[in-house]
């Protein structure tokens, strides 16, 4: 989408910008890492909630896109994206109906299953519509949020195999609980331990069934670690595209104090609106535009380095300035790296696309609010 605004300083704040140079580098680096490990990338749209960005990920080489919820999948399929995997349970009749409506538009749609009741409901609903569907077995490797216990996984897989309208294509093993472990070495050990719980299950299914070819796993924090697990066939990483403080602050293979592989493509612009106090200014972005999770937003850019954002209510933030830095005057636009990108993005309708200081376009956050 084109925009009439030409410069970053023309944007009204608070608003989200995507720095295309950093975004494109992030997408290229992840795709290259996955490709050189001989694996596939099906990035998660739960992070960015944007079909235009999902399309860019596919153009960069992704085989499909993950969705957290049925309504996200609906929006992605309606936007023409294919190869969608829904990574969470679809347990109720209303949602199953919506799922099958999407399947009718996109036969490549997949979902995960972790319970006999869901297997039965989905199989019966597919039968009534004369359809069948590819599914993955969701294996709980320690997050305990969804997924079948590893000790019960083969039994559930056999149950799925006995249902006429379901085609078991493999497994999902998402270890969300290890993604932000600060130490790279500890994260590596933890992620390997988790995935090793799923490996024998995948091997067993592979040995029984030629069509069981998918082992989907990983998040941004363990992408390079999980690429070294031979059985993993594809990554379902999300945050790497936009990035946030929560991720930038964990260690990486190169540097145990910061996460170096990906840069902060997503930033929130906020304006200085009051300068009447000593030592700090008030900016126009608070809890209603920055989701309070994952730490504190961070000032971006060397010009203002040394300044610190603090939570200051619903509509405002406080930015403290050390004595050696001149207080920015009213009207100054500051850029913040958000503390947790996913829920912050879900507060906005659009990304403004920038190259340097130039505004070059707009992408609607069209999956915003798709939480059903
Ligand atoms: C099931 C699932 N897969 C993948 C991801 C992507 O993880 P990340 O944003 O850490 O890359 C998430 C994120 O919460 C998730 O819930």
Pocket perturbation via mutation, ligand 1, pick of 45, 46, 339 by most ligand atoms within 8 A of CB: 46
Residue with tokens 């300083």: 9
Q: Which atom of ligand 1 is found nearest the CA of 247? A: 10
What mean pLDDT value characterizes the chain? 97
Q: Does residue 154 register a pLDDT over 80?
A: yes
pLDDT of residue 269: 98
Tens of pLDDT, residue by residue over 69-84, are 999 999 999 999 999 9
Q: How far apart are CA 57 and CA 37, in angstroms?
A: 18
Residue 52: pLDDT band (50, 70, 90) is very high
Please tell me what DSSP assigns to residue 148: B
Residues 169 and 205: beta-carbon distance below 8 Å: no
Please state which of the four CATH numbers 3.40.50.1950, 3.30.70.920, 3.20.20.10, 3.30.420.40 is assigned to the domain occupying 20-243: 3.20.20.10
Q: How far is the CA of 168 from the centre of ligand 1 (A)?
A: 22
pTM over 0.95: yes
Tens of pLDDT, residue by residue over 254-290, are 999 999 999 999 999 999 999 999 999 999 999 999 9
Pocket perturbation via mutation, ligand 1, pick of 42, 139, 173, 236 by most ligand atoms within 8 A of CB: 236
Triad 318, 320, 325: Cα angle to 5°: 140
- Whether residue 280 is preceded by a cis peptide bond, meaning omega within 30 degrees of 0, is no
* Arithmetic mean of pLDDT, 203-220: 97
Q: How far is the CA of 326 from the centre of ligand 1 (A)?
A: 40
Q: How far apart are CA 184 and CA 221, in angstroms?
A: 9
Q: Which of 185, 197, 257, 258 is nearest to 225 (CA)?
A: 185
Pocket perturbation via mutation, ligand 1, pick of 57, 179, 293, 294 by most ligand atoms within 8 A of CB: 179
Residue 2: pLDDT band (50, 70, 90) is low
Q: How far apart are CA 270 and CA 267, in angstroms?
A: 10
pLDDT of residue 194: 98
Residue 6: pLDDT band (50, 70, 90) is confident
Q: Does residue 338 register a pLDDT over 80?
A: yes
pLDDT of residue 216: 99
* Arithmetic mean of pLDDT, 336-358: 97
Q: How far is the CA of 67 from the centre of ligand 1 (A)?
A: 10
pLDDT of residue 324: 85
Tens of pLDDT, residue by residue over 162-185, are 999 999 999 999 999 999 999 999
Residue 4: pLDDT band (50, 70, 90) is confident
Minimum CA distance residue for ligand 1 atom 10: 219
pLDDT of residue 300: 97
pLDDT of residue 287: 97
Q: How far is the CA of 44 from the centre of ligand 1 (A)?
A: 7
* Arithmetic mean of pLDDT, 221-242: 98
Q: How far apart are CA 205 and CA 212, in angstroms?
A: 6
Q: Does residue 47 register a pLDDT over 90?
A: yes
Distance of CA 78 to the CA centre of its chain: 20
pLDDT of residue 340: 98
Minimum CA distance residue for ligand 1 atom 1: 87
Residues with CB under 6 A from ligand 1: 44, 46-47, 87, 174, 176, 179, 219-221, 236-240
Q: How far apart are CA 307 and CA 44, in angstroms?
A: 33
Q: Which atom of ligand 1 is found nearest the CA of 218? A: 4
Q: How far is the CA of 174 from the centre of ligand 1 (A)?
A: 8
pLDDT of residue 5: 67
pLDDT of residue 105: 96
* Arithmetic mean of pLDDT, 15-23: 98
Q: How far is the CA of 133 from the centre of ligand 1 (A)?
A: 23
Q: Does residue 244 register a pLDDT over 80?
A: yes
Please tell me what DSSP assigns to residue 210: T
Q: Does residue 3 register a pLDDT over 80?
A: no
- How much helix, strand and coil, in percent to the nearest 5, is found in the chain? 35, 20, 45
Q: Which of 356, 288, 347 is nearest to 317 (CA)?
A: 288
pLDDT of residue 149: 98
């Amino acid at each position: 989408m084109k925009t009439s605004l030409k410069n970053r300083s023309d944007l009204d704040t608070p608003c989200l910008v995507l720095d295309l140079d950093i975004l494109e580098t992030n997408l290229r680096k992840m795709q290259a890492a996955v490709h050189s490990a001989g694996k596939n990338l099906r990035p998660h749209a739960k992070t960015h909630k944007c079909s235009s960005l999902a399309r860019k990920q596919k153009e960069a080489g992704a085989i499909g896109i993950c969705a957290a919820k049925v309504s996200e999948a609906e929006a992605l399929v309606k936007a023409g994206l294919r190869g969608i995997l829904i990574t969470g349970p679809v347990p109720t009749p209303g949602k199953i109906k919506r799922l099958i409506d999407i399947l009718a538009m996109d036969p490549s749609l997949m979902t995960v299953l972790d319970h006999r009741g869901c297997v039965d409901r989905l199989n019966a609903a597919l039968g009534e519509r004369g359809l069948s569907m590819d599914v993955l077995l969701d294996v709980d490797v320690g997050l305990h949020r969804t997924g079948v216990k590893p000790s019960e996984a083969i039994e559930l897989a056999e149950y799925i195999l006995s249902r006429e309208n379901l085609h078991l294509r493999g497994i999902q093993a998402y270890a969300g609980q290890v993604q932000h472990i600060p130490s790279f070495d500890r994260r590596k050990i933890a992620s390997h331990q988790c995935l090793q719980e799923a490996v024998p299950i995948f091997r067993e299914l592979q040995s029984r069934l030629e069509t069981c070819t998918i082992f989907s796993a990983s998040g941004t924090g363990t992408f390079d670690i999980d690429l070294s697990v031979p059985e993993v066939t594809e990554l379902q990483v999300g945050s790497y595209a936009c990035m946030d403080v929560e991720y930038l602050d964990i260690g990486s293979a190169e540097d145990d104090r910061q996460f170096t592989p990906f840069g902060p493509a997503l930033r929130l612009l906020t304006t200085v609106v009051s300068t009447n106090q000593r030592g700090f200014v008030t900016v126009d972005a608070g809890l209603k535009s920055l989701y309070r999770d994952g730490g504190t937003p961070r000032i971006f850019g060397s010009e203002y380095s040394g300044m610190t954002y603090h939570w200051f209510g619903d509509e405002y933030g406080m930015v403290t300035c050390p004595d050696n830095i001149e207080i920015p005057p009213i009207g100054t636009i500051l850029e913040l790296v958000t503390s947790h990108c996913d829920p912050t993005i879900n507060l906005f309708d659009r990304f403004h696309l920038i190259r340097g200081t130039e505004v070059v376009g707009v992408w609607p956050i069209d999956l915003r609010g798709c939480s059903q």
